[in-house]
Amino acid sequence: MTFQGPSSGKPDPDFTLVSFSVIIDIIAIINVALARQLGLPEDTFAALQSPTELSGTVLRLLKSYASPDAVNLRTSLIHHTDFGTVTLLANIVGGLQILKPGGSPLDESAWAWARPQPGCLIVNMGDAMTQWTGGILRSSMHRVTHAPGSRRFVDKYSIAYLARPERNASMKRLLDAHEASENEEDDNLTAWEWEVKKAMSMARANYVPQMKGV
Ligand SMILES: O=C(O)CCC(=O)C(=O)O
Ligand SMILES: [Fe+2]
């Protein structure tokens, strides 16, 4: 599928408005494809995240400043997993890195660049998908660092659409747990309660971001 991303390094307000319905269509296609692959009814994920219901879905425009100083290279966004269901990401300059499976965030060689491809979006799974699928889908650990090569000398803009479940959606696992869940009680929460619980645990001083799923 091709997608018309921003044509320059600068944000284009028309891009955001015109593309909103396209983004919703893309998420719908991904939802159906994932449900089919997992042997679930086609509307399983769509039914839990209607774009017209109240949710914590975010459309984010991010600017990461250039990193010209070779001895003080910039990390714009520290490693994390996305909270929601599916993230769509458009950028040109690069700088996004994904942690290789089993890698430690402290090991620099465990980080792989996600190279932006013209006409393509980067698709990321979020923690809600991991919860619903009992760990079969993994929310990948990622961070935004300085862009590679000479691209680190320019500011980077990206547009991220972070889809989240409807507030009242159930976070009950839809598939048998692939890995033992340390949080069985999450099954009984609504998406809103689950997100508040996650946000509060992130705010604790000893919080360590972890990759879940397989
Ligand atoms: O700007 C990027 O490349 C990634 C943004 C991101 O990870 C986020 O908004 O959660
Ligand atoms: Fe992210």
Q: Which CATH number covers residue 111?
A: 2.60.120.330
107 falls within a domain:
yes
3 falls within a domain:
no
pTM reported for the whole predicted model: 0.85
Q: Which domain holds residue 142?
A: 55-202
21 falls within a domain:
no
C-beta of residue 85 within 8 angstroms of C-beta of residue 45: yes
68 falls within a domain:
yes
pLDDT band, residue 147 (cuts 50/70/90):
confident
133 falls within a domain:
yes
60: Cβ below 6 Å to ligand 1? yes
Rounded to the nearest integer, the mean pLDDT of the chain is 86
171 falls within a domain:
yes
Q: From CA 48, how far away is CA 50, in angstroms rounded?
A: 6
Residue type, 161: Y
> If you take atom 3 of ligand 1, which residue's CA is the nearest one?
96
127: Cβ below 6 Å to ligand 1? no
Dihedral of alpha carbons 46, 48, 54, 55, sign: negative
- Quote the number of domains for the chain: 1
Alpha helices (H) in the chain, listed in sequence order: 13-37, 127-132, 191-203
> If you take atom 6 of ligand 1, which residue's CA is the nearest one?
160
pLDDT of residue 144: 92
* Between 209 and 6, residue with greater pLDDT: 209
Ligand 1: nearest atom to the Cα of 82: 10
22 falls within a domain:
no
The alpha carbon of 150 and the centre of ligand 2 are apart by a number of angstroms equal to: 24
> If you take atom 9 of ligand 1, which residue's CA is the nearest one?
160
165 falls within a domain:
yes
